[in-house]
Amino acid sequence: MPYFKVTERYALGGSTRIARRDLRAGVFTTAAEAVPGGVAVSATWPAPYAGAMRETYVSPSPGVLHVQSTIHLNDASAPGGRRSVSTLQVYGRRESRESLLRASAARNGDGHDVLRSFGLPV
């Protein structure tokens, strides 16, 4: 699948209808609300694969972002009529470009090491 970029805009304290993230025809209805330290977005969508989602974006400390996502899909064969899954994504921001380059070099070696690893002349 080719890369694609999803851009979504939410009205804090209101609801919005936007295109489905799974690229199927139709829309889902969303609402955003302030939570301690961040914002939460809730969404519902109709069939096919009807369900609901809640994502919470919180910055527990400077330079760190936690994204907690919980998705519920309606499924008559599942206990309680729905299946759910939750994930936590943690993002950290580097202080500077130099800090990012140092961390990359520590993980991967310098540029010459990377070229050598692909068998390319240096």
Per-residue pLDDT of 45-89, as tens digits, reads: 998 889 999 999 999 998 899 999 999 998 888 888 888 999 999
Q: What CA–CA distances, in Å, run from 28 to 13, 43, 44, 98?
A: 17, 6, 6, 41
pLDDT band per the 50, 70, 90 thresholds, residue 113: confident
Considering the entire predicted model, what is its pTM? 0.68
Phi first, then psi, for residue 83 (nearest 5°) are -115, 145
| pLDDT given at position 3 | 67
| pLDDT for 88 | 95
Q: What per-residue confidence (pLDDT) applies to 110?
A: 74
2: confidence class by pLDDT, cuts 50, 70, 90: low
8 Å CB contact between 35 and 56: yes
Domain map (residue ranges) of the chain: 15-93
Tens of pLDDT, residues 91-102? 988 677 788 778
